[in-house]
């Protein structure tokens, strides 16, 4: 079994350890872990990079543990991947968010928004059909609105996706009413029309 571990202490933002690990977990399944100081839009780069490599995030959790300090773990399926997951440089993806040139249409069945005073964040619950590149595409759009996750819980199963994001502004403050309305408008435009019959 091969495992790739990389620690980038020299390039870290505040001298603490920053790194990633990619570990096989069975046929076409891998566990990706990232830790340490990361830029605010790191998740956008990682999720979009995985989608470009045709890898699917099956589940995952990412939590900001302090200012710019993160811990994340993702289970990915690499059955349709165009490259070996062990060849990925997750830190390079995290440090360089993608341009919006490759935005894909997003489809959801529904969503809820709620204030999260404990995290000074806006909680967004999303559910809908599984869609390749969904999370990366969503994070790109939210980044364009000036919002980034401070916590994410990702689940994809036979019923589709159920993702929970806790968002703050890129300045690290609680989203305003303007932000909330912008997120609502974005997500309303992604909701699938009800099936007829």
193 within some domain: no
159 within some domain: yes
pLDDT exceeds 80 at position 99: no
195 within some domain: no
167 within some domain: yes
Element at 48 (helix H, strand E): helix 42-52
Provide the domain count of the chain: 1
197 within some domain: no
Interval 38-88: pLDDT, tens: 888 899 889 888 888 888 899 999 999 988 899 999 998 887 766 777 777
**Domain housing 93:** 4-188
Q: What is the chain's mean pLDDT, rounded?
A: 84
Report helix, strand or coil for 26: strand
pLDDT at position 10 is 44
In this structure, the number of other CB atoms found within 10 A of the CB of residue 196 comes to 4
């Amino acid at each position: 079994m091969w495992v790739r571990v990389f620690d980038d202490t020299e390039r870290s933002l505040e001298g603490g350890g920053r790194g990633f690990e990619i570990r096989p977990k069975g046929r076409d399944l891998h566990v990706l872990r990232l830790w340490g100081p990361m830029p605010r839009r790191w998740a956008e780069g990682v999720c979009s990079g995985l989608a470009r490599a045709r890898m699917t995030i099956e589940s995952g959790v990412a939590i900001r543990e302090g200012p710019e300090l993160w811990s994340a773990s993702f289970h990915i399926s690499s059955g349709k991947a165009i490259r070996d997951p062990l060849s990925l440089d997750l830190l390079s993806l995290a440090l360089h968010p993608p341009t919006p040139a490759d935005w894909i249409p997003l489809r959801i069945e529904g969503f809820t928004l709620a204030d999260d005073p404990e995290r000074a964040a806006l909680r967004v619950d999303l559910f809908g059909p599984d869609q390749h590149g969904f999370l990366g595409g969503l994070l790109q759009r939210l980044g364009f609105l000036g919002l980034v996750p401070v916590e994410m819980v990702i689940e994809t199963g036979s019923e589709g996706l159920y993702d929970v994001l806790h968002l703050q502004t890129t300045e690290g403050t609680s989203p305003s009413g303007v932000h909330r309305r912008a997120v609502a408008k974005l997500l309303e435009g992604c909701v699938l029309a009800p099936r007829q019959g």
